[in-house]
Each structure stands twice: as C-alpha cells, then as structure tokens.
Amino acid sequence: MYERILVPTDGSDVAEAAVDHALDLAEKYDAEVHALYVVDIDSINLGLGTEQVDRLKQGRFDEMEEVKAKADEATGAVAARAAERGVEVVEHVSGGRPHKLIAEYAEDHDIGLIVMGSHGRAGVRRALLGSVTERTLRSTHVPVLVVDYLDED
C-alpha cells in the first residue's frame, strides 16, 4: 500500500511519537522512510541577515554548525531506530516554510503517506492542530496521519 513514508521531524517528543508510527507502518508495508528536517526560516532569529537566510533556503547548513547539528541529530535518530528494524531511510534537511517544503517533498519523491505529530498540547488547545500540521493538511493531496502526543509529566 505504501512504498515511501515521509516523517517530518524536529527531534521533539511529539515528532518521536510520529516516528514510532511511521516505522511500524514501514515494517508492515516494506516501505522506505524519508526523515525530513525543515529549518523554519520564519522562526530563525531575524538578526541572521539575508545572506544567511538565503544559505538556509538553499540547504547550505555547513556554516551554521548548531542548526546542522540539530538537523543531523533529528534525522539521524530516525535512521538509527529504522536500522534496528531493518527499514531503509532517506535523510533530508531543507530550509524554508515547513508546510510548503513537506508538501513539495512529498510530491517530488512520490510519497504515499505523511506521518507527523500533532502539537502535543493538553486541555482546550489539544483540540486544535499545530499550525505546521494544519497547514500541511491543506497544502498536500497526500494522505496525512496525525499522531497525537500527550506528555505524561
């Protein structure tokens, strides 16, 4: 049913819950998992300047060690967990608006399913999806599985 499953990740607990589901489905359907980390250029410190923001948009993270390390850690964690299960993983890091890049990546790589976390909030706000998740749902025709996360603490 699914040949390629996209799991956007930022390394958070919410994203990790989605990774579990993505890997379970990948095992079941013998699918390849694509771990995508998007550096949100809108939330990056505005003090970076246009030259550094342009580098982020082009995927040039080598000069920004902290950003590169966080991205590699997030996608690497997916790859390590997938390797334990014998699931193939493609790691990718991009810079831009997350919902747009998730939708574009899904289309460009013939993704059959996107698995992503909800915002993970509790109470009244729990009924609302996170903004990236909601915008992704509106930006793509690829099925999206939204995994809820509730912090146990």
Where are the alpha helices (H) located in the chain, listed in sequence order? 13-29, 50-57, 65-85, 98-108, 131-139
For the chain, domain boundaries:
18-147
pLDDT at 102 over 80: yes
Averaged pLDDT, 65-80: 90
Residue 130 pLDDT > 90, yes or no? no
The predicted structure's pLDDT at residue 42: 67
Helix, strand, or coil here: 136?
helix
pLDDT at 122: 45
11's enclosing H/E stretch is none
Helix runs in 37-119, H state only: 50-57, 65-85, 98-108
Report pLDDT digits (tens) over 131-150: 888 899 999 999 999 998 76
pLDDT band at 65 (very low <50, low <70, confident <90, very high): confident
Assess whether pLDDT exceeds 80 at residue 18: yes
Determine contact, residues 31/112, Cβ cutoff 8 Å.
yes
Which tokens go with 65? Answer: 């060690």
pLDDT band at 121 (very low <50, low <70, confident <90, very high): very low
Tokens of residue 84, six digits: 């334990």
The domain made up of 18-147 has a fold known as Rossmann fold (3.40.50)
By CB atoms closer than 10 A (0-12, 13-18, 19+), residue 89 is buried
